[in-house]
């Protein structure tokens, strides 16, 4: 079992399979990065699998594939089936912008994927196009429907931005409720790659807005990044509030980037590379790095209100 210094059990890895993306979301990647990593620096699926197998043997129970946009990487279903076949009970999930989901949902489900989180920031085609800097809404909505149709578990993620989509909180909640899926509203996390001037809407304001239409109560906290709430009629929605004091208490995750960096905390700049160890087939060394990362997982993120993260969300997988 992987346990950090603060007695938190680490049983969840988020894997960014590519940094590339077909959207240019204002809060994440508004400008195309200066250059992309050359292909030889990216871990192959086989290399990622070698490392993840080790992590699974050490007790990892949940793997989420993310990016960049994970559906841009070829043969993702093959990678999913490698993981599934190794341990069918793994909680295998994907975070996607949904653009290619209609095309791939069936294949992904067949390969062993269980759940998908789709980013949906607006139901207004113009606002969605303004945020992603591309006309995306129709394809994203079709992707959500297809994922539901093939039987994947679906959740929606919405980054709430002041003056951009905060007027749609109730519409998005009703949309998710009518589809029978959970929506989670995420506070925008300030980072130096985001479009300048974007302002976060804090959880108290989001909850205030929801309270104008629904009565709800908070559910007991589990070890996910969200706080969950249930309306009187039984609908469950969530809030992700990285600005809150309690955010790190139950953190159970580490991250692996496409370039092989193992990252103990989204908001810390430290990282350790496993690429060399894996390419040299030095599994003992890779296991040592994994243990070192878990050991050095910080108690709390070092990111305060007036600070701006230097981490690129598209590299670390959000
Ligand atoms: N491309 C996929 C997507 O958009 O769902 C997966 C990668 S994306 C980096 C993962 C998650 O990070 C998304 O839900 C996205 O909304 C969130 N995210 C990205 N930048 C963020 C920011 N600055 N603040 C809060 N959430 C952010
Ligand atoms: Fe791409 Fe996801 Fe970042 Fe948007 S949030 S730019 S879809 S990686």
Mutate to test the pocket of ligand 2, among 120, 143, 195, 314 (most ligand atoms within 8 A of CB): 314
pLDDT higher than threshold 90 for residue 266 = no
Tokens 């909640």 correspond to what residue? 173
Per-residue confidence (pLDDT) for residue 295, from 0 to 100: 86
Tokens 């070092």 correspond to what residue? 302
pLDDT band at 239 (very low <50, low <70, confident <90, very high): very high
- Cβ partners under 8 Å of residue 3, min gap 6: 9, 10, 294
- Neighbouring CB atoms inside 10 A of 100's CB total 18
Per-residue confidence (pLDDT) for residue 152, from 0 to 100: 98
Atom of ligand 1 minimally distant from the CA of 313: 9
The CATH fold assigned to 12-316 is TIM Barrel (3.20.20)
Atom of ligand 2 minimally distant from the CA of 95: 2
Please give the distance, rounded to the nearest whole angstrom, from the Cα atom of residue 317 to the centre of ligand 1.
7
Phi, psi of 104 (to 5 degrees): -110, -10
Please give the distance, rounded to the nearest whole angstrom, from the Cα atom of residue 19 to the centre of ligand 2.
9
The tens digit of pLDDT for each residue in 120-132 reads 999 999 999 999 9
Q: Is the CB of 97 under 6 A from ligand 2?
A: yes
pLDDT higher than threshold 80 for residue 302 = no
Q: Which of 247, 115, 248, 127 is nearest to 187 (CA)?
A: 247
pLDDT higher than threshold 70 for residue 258 = yes
Tokens 């909850």 correspond to what residue? 207
Phi, psi of 290 (to 5 degrees): -60, -45
pLDDT band at 250 (very low <50, low <70, confident <90, very high): confident
* DSSP H helices in the chain: 45-57, 76-86, 101-111, 125-132, 137-149, 169-179, 203-211, 275-279, 283-295, 313-316
């Amino acid at each position: 079992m992987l346990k950090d210094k603060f007695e938190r059990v680490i049983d969840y890895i988020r894997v960014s399979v590519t940094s590339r993306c077909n959207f240019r979301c204002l809060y994440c990647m508004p400008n195309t990065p200066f250059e992309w990593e050359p292909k030889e620096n990216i871990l192959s699926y086989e290399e990622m699998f070698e490392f993840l197998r080790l992590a699974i043997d050490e007790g990892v129970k949940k793997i989420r594939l993310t990016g960049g946009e994970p559906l841009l990487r070829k043969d993702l279903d093959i990678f999913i089936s490698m993981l599934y076949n190794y341990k069918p009970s793994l909680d295998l999930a994907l975070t996607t912008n949904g653009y290619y989901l209609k095309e791939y949902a069936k294949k992904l489900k067949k390969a062993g994927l269980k759940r998908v989180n789709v980013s949906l920031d607006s139901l207004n085609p113009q606002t969605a196009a303004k945020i992603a800097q591309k006309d995306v809404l129709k394809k994203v909505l079709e992707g959500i429907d297809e994922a539901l149709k093939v039987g994947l578990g679906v959740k929606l993620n919405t980054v709430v931005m002041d003056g951009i989509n905060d007027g749609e909180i109730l519409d998005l909640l009703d949309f998710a409720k009518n589809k029978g899926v959970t929506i989670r509203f995420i506070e925008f996390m300030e980072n130096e790659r985001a479009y300048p001037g974007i302002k976060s809407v804090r959880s108290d304001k989001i909850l205030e807005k929801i309270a104008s239409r629904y009565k709800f109560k908070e559910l007991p906290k589990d070890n996910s990044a969200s706080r969950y709430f249930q309306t009187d009629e039984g609908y469950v929605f969530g809030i992700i509030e990285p600005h809150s004091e309690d955010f790190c208490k139950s953190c159970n995750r580490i991250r692996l980037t496409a370039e092989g960096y193992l990252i103990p905390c989204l908001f810390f700049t430290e990282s350790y590379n496993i690429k060399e160890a894996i390419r040299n087939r030095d599994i003992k060394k890779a296991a040592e790095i994994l243990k070192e990362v878990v050991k050095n997982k910080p108690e709390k993120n070092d990111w305060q209100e007036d600070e701006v993260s230097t981490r690129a969300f598209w590299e670390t997988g959000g």
